[in-house]
Structure formats: C-alpha cells, structure tokens
Amino acid sequence: MAAFLALISSLMWGTADFFGGFVSKKIPASKVLVLSYPVGLLFLLIYAVMLPGEITLNALFIGSLAGVVGILAMGSLYLALAIGPMGVMSPVTAACSTLVPITMGLIVGEKLSWIAWLGISFAIMSVVLVSMETSPTGGKLVVSGKGLLLAIFSGLLIGTFLSLVGLAASDNGMWPLVFARLMSSILVIGYFVYKKSENFRSGYDSNLFALVILSGALDATANAVFVLATFDGYLSIAAVIASLYPAATVILATAFLKEKLTGIQFLGIGLAFFSAGILSLV
C-alpha cells in the first residue's frame, strides 16, 4: 500500500508541476505561488481535520522548517521549468531529490534489502533516461546552465522537504504539512507584497487562473498522500517512488506542448513504472 500511495503522489506532483511550470512561462513564478500555496493550505486543513492527528510543538517546528525549505524548492523549480525544457529540468530535479531521503533513511536505521536497492537503481536510471531529450531539429539539446543549477538546487531542497515531513511523528497526522504550507504561504505573500511593482491581476486570464488553482490542490494532495505512504513504509522507498513524477510531467508536456518524446524517454517511462512495481514488493 505504501508504494501505491507514493506512486499516486508522484503522478499528482508531476501534474501539478506541469500546470505550475506552464503558467510560469506566461507570468512570474511568484504570482503562481502566491495563489497556489494558500489554495493548497485550504485543502491541507481539510485533510488535517478529516484524519486523526495531534497538534504539538514538534509538529509546529518541523512544519515551519519544512515550509521555509518547501517554498524555496518550489520557487526554484518553477523558475527552472519556465526556463525549460520541462523534459530536462523536471527529471534532473527528481534525480537530485532522491539523494537526501535515502541518506536520511539510512541515518535513522532503515535497512534496505537487495530488492529495494535494485528498485532504487532502476528508478534513478529511469529518471536519467527520461531526461535524455534532443532538440526539435534532432541535434544536441542546448540546456541553460542557470536552469540546470536551479533544477539541482530545487531537487536537493525537495529531498530535504520530503525528509522533514516524512520523519514527523505519525501521531501528528497532517498537521506538520499544514504548518509547512502556512509558513510557505506567509513567506510568498510577504515577498509578493514587498514587490509592490507587481500587479496580481495582470497577466492572468480565466484559464491560467484555473490551472493555478488546480496545481495548488494537486500539490497539497500529493503531499498528504506522500505522508500517508511514509506512515506505512520506509521514507527512502516512498521518496524514490515519489521522485518518479517527471514521467507525468513529460507525458503532459508531450501531449499539450508538443515536446516530442524519444525512444529512450519512452523506455525511461516504462522503467519508472517497472521500478515502482519492484519497490512495491519491499
């Protein structure tokens, strides 16, 4: 069940990232986050009330720290996706995001079997294969150095965020996520108010507005589903499966942005789901 929940969270994250990255190509990322994060907070409050959980100082501390890390991670990710191409930036971010939770899981005493390591290896390999994109003319793809650095930085921060919320006590339920999203919302709103030159309404139309709302709802739900996965299994394995979200982003980018998939990328997507199947056996 843990592996299945982690896979669901990865699909939700990939879809949310596609919507957020797409809108960030049209308007500044800060305008996306200042709306999507409060929307996500509303959903997480609903989940926290629906599921049993205790509000403690530990939940407040971990959640607040995760919130600071999370908003920096998403801001960097949206900037990287806006620079593009999505089919490269998203997988690079995902590959980097696996490093911190695996390390943290080993530190806290998680003992992984050879099957688990095999699945993890396939998962990381799949992310690399999915990222092997060529230019529209079939030549070598030119990737922005700035975008690549942002993607790596975002991945390490996402891994830190997953580790923080994944190691929170199960007795706290969804409340660490609520405090994390509350802190992130406060920070992004504060930044937006500070940048007085930006007009919130400019650049938005009804379609972009709807995509941002959907992105915020999906991202928050993915966080909640991921935490449920960590309650029922290893943090390291759940994080690796969740890191397969580029498959959804790349598929959507192919369907709606006409970014062409190569044979290697199709192989990577297939390997991603194969690795998830292996990890579900652990």
223-244 pLDDT per residue, tens: 999 999 888 878 888 888 887 7
State the pLDDT at residue 137.
47
Amino acid (1-letter code) at residue 73: A
Tokens of 76: 């960097």
pLDDT at position 252: 84
**Six token digits for residue 43:** 């959903």
Quote the percentage of the chain above a pLDDT of 90. Answer: 25
Q: Where are the alpha helices (DSSP H) in 232-262?
A: 235-242, 246-257
Q: What is the pLDDT of residues 21-69, one digit of tens each?
A: 788 778 877 788 888 999 999 999 999 999 888 999 999 999 999 999 9
Confidence of residue 275 (pLDDT cuts 50, 70, 90): confident
Rounded to 10 deg, the angle between the 206-231 and 175-194 helix axes is: 150
Taking CB atoms within 8 Å and a gap of at least 24, the contacts of 190-197 are: 191/30, 191/34, 192/30, 192/31, 192/34, 195/30
Tokens of 50: 């629906």
Q: Are 132 and 268 in contact (CB under 8 A)?
A: yes
H-type alpha helices, 195-245: 206-231, 235-242
On the question of pLDDT at 124 being above 50, the answer is yes
pLDDT at 120 over 50: yes
pLDDT category of residue 202 using cuts at 50, 70 and 90? low
Q: What is the pLDDT of residue 39?
A: 94
pLDDT the model gives residue 232: 80
Residues contacting residue 39 through CB under 8 Å, at least 6 positions apart: 212, 213, 216, 217, 220
Considering only CA atoms, which of 159, 218, 233 is closest in space to residue 6?
233
